[in-house]
């Protein structure tokens, strides 16, 4: 709930502290944001609509696929990392439906879910009773107080190194999950999906190297036997959904074995802040 995390948030307009008051979130300078009936609040400012927000169809596909437990081993690994860090505040930048954050919260820790998609954040607000869900753009300054987060998750989402460093506590941990080479093999070849950039790891190091030190790396590989509806869901929830014609996809899926064996490959890297 927002009440659990309000002390860790800041006004996106003036950066002052926020408080809950009669169905609104407001700061001392009078900037006010309505709390939606689903329990989330939008802290986006300006009239421009972000172009990368997940659509209702993408969010529904993600919710169905994750609820089936296909990526449960990945969620379990993130939970162990948060528990090992003894985290009391966990934030997820690009939280989507809140699936990973809900599974990662240890003990009595609270979670801050940030995503630019209202459709996703509506679900994140209900994913766990100690999650506060915010519509926020990872590319902009995050509405989170300086040095207030113990563990920051970034799972298949945009990255903002300067903001990640600002909101993490000096001893905090950044956990980044990216797809690895071979992710969703053989669907990439058979369905013409977007492939993983072979230079992705170097670009990640370049992005974080000025502000963070890599503390660890782990490769996670999951073998899945997916039904045709599950294949359509895993394609529909990711970036390939923006580039795949539904009719062509359906035809390609029908040509696959049912079920089809798929490899999900991920890279988990952990990072610590460099001294400022």
Structure confidence by residue, pLDDT tens digits, 82-101: 999 999 999 999 999 999 99
Average pLDDT estimate for 126-131: 97
Q: Does position 48 have pLDDT exceeding 70, yes or no?
A: no
With residue 163 as reference, give the H or E element that holds it.
helix 161-167
Q: What is the pLDDT of residue 193?
A: 79
Q: Does position 249 have pLDDT exceeding 90, yes or no?
A: no
**CATH code for the domain in which residue 77 is found:** 3.40.50.150
Average pLDDT estimate for 149-170: 96
Q: What is the pLDDT of residue 156?
A: 92
Beta bridge partners of 155: 177
How many Cβ atoms from other residues are within 10 Å of residue 138's Cβ? Answer: 20
DSSP string, 64-123: HHHHTTTTHHHHHHHHHHHHHTT-SEEEEET-TTSHHHHHH--TT-EEEEEES-HHHHHH
Q: What is the pLDDT of residue 93?
A: 98
Average pLDDT estimate for 49-55: 72
Domain boundaries, position 32 = 2-273
With residue 233 as reference, give the H or E element that holds it.
helix 228-236
Which is more confident, 53 or 251?
Answer: 251
50 pLDDT band, cuts 50/70/90, is low
Q: How many domains does the chain have?
A: 1
49 pLDDT band, cuts 50/70/90, is low
Q: Does position 52 have pLDDT exceeding 80, yes or no?
A: no
Q: What is the pLDDT of residue 41?
A: 97
Rounded mean pLDDT of the chain?
92
73 pLDDT band, cuts 50/70/90, is very high
Q: What is the pLDDT of residue 47?
A: 61
Average pLDDT estimate for 197-222: 88
Q: What is the pLDDT of residue 164?
A: 98
């Amino acid at each position: 709930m927002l009440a659990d995390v309000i002390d860790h948030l800041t006004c996106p307009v003036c950066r002052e502290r926020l408080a809950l008051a009669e169905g609104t979130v407001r700061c001392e300078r009078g900037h006010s944001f309505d709390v939606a009936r689903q329990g989330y609040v939008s802290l986006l400012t300006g009239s421009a609509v972000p172009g990368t927000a997940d659509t209702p169809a993408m969010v529904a596909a993600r919710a169905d696929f994750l609820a089936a437990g296909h990526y449960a081993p990945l969620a379990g690994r993130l939970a162990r990392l948060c528990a090992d860090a003894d985290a009391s505040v966990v934030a997820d930048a690009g939280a989507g439906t809140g699936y990973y954050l809900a599974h990662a919260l240890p003990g009595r820790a609270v979670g801050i879910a940030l995503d630019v998609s209202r459709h996703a954040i509506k679900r994140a607000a209900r994913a766990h009773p100690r999650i506060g869900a915010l519509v926020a753009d990872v590319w902009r300054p995050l509405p989170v107080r300086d040095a207030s987060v113990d563990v920051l998750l970034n799972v298949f989402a945009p990255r903002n190194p300067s903001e990640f460093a600002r909101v993490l506590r000096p001893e905090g941990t950044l956990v980044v999950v990216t797809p690895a080479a071979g992710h969703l093999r053989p669907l990439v070849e058979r369905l013409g999906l977007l492939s993983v950039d072979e230079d992705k790891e170097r670009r990640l190091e370049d992005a974080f190297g000025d502000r963070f030190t890599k503390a660890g790396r782990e490769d996670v590989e999951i073998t899945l036997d997916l039904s045709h509806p599950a294949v359509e869901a895993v394609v529909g929830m990711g970036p390939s959904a923006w580039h795949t014609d539904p009719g062509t996809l359906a035809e390609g899926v029908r040509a696959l074995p049912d079920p089809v064996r798929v490899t999900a490959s991920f890279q988990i890297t952990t990072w610590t802040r460099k001294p400022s």
